[in-house]
Chain A
Amino acid sequence: NAGVTQTPKFQVLKTGQSMTLQCAQDMNHEYMSWYRQDPGMGLRLIHYSVGAGITDQGEVPNGYNVSRSTTEDFPLRLLSAAPSQTSVYFCASRQTQLQGTNTEAFFGQGTRLTVV
């Protein structure tokens, strides 16, 4: 039962560096999303995807890119890391929503990113 797998678990970047956070799910979920978690602010949506080839911006998309070439994978790219992007990042997936049904989001273990 792999569920949602995120790598890496920890990362330290220097300002200006780029990197990709990996996310893969094996539940055949159409919907995938990336959140960042900051103290006192809960989880905020960065980008999401409702299926392969379809992505859209969430609440805080600036400085991040995503793509969805397969159902399974949804990588998050930091183009030029800034200290303000120091955060814990979560990838989540779920079934496409059916009204009135429980479509809980399954989360990865999180990536703790520090930008110095």
Chain B
Amino acid sequence: AQKITQTQPGMFVQEKEAVTLDCTYDTSDQSYGLFWYKQPSSGEMIFLIYQGSYDEQNATEGRYSLNFQKARKSANLVISASQLGDSAMYFCAMRDDLITGNQFYFGTGTSLTVIP
């Protein structure tokens, strides 16, 4: 079963606008972590933001925030004031704390294009 679902293969946003990238996850455990990574065209994986399942407040890191809705099992990434450099592939990932090895499960990604 798919652990992480990203339903938006591609998104476009006007420069300086905000954009939300969707992510839903599937787990029956109470303890887990949620992550977002950015992959620019150069190929490296860049960590953006983390949300723990027990964190009561939504995580924020600069222009990135994570809209965590536990009951709906969603962990959407919000990028405010988009910049041209935000054009990249974005991956949502989950670390399942009670699974042996605690490996990360990744979604299929969303390609974001920022339009000048």
Contacts and interface: CB of A to CB of B under 8 A. Distances in A.
Interface in B50-83: 50, 52-55
Contact of B106 (A42, A48, A88, A101): A42
A43 B97 contact: no
Interface residues of A, number: 29
A1 interface: no
A109 B45 CA distance: 8
A97 B100 CA distance: 11
Nearest to A112: B43
Contacts of B102: 31, 97
Interface in A45-81: 45, 48, 50, 56, 58
Contact of B50 (A43, A99, A104): A104
A58 B52 CA distance: 23
Q: Is the interface of B mostly helix, strand, loop or mixed?
A: loop
A45 B44 contact: no
Interface string A1-37: 0000000000000000000000000000001010100
Contact of B91 (A31, A43, A92, A112): A43
Contacts of A45: 103-104
Nearest to B39: A37
Contacts of B47: 104-106
B31 A48 contact: no
A1 B9 CA distance: 34
20 contacts: A31-B102, A40-B108, A42-B107, A42-B109, A43-B91, A43-B104, A43-B106, A45-B103, A48-B101, A92-B45, A92-B104, A97-B33, A99-B97, A100-B55, A104-B50, A105-B35, A105-B104, A107-B37, A107-B44, A110-B43
Q: Which 4 A-B pairs have the closest CB atoms?
A: A107-B45, A102-B50, A43-B106, A97-B102
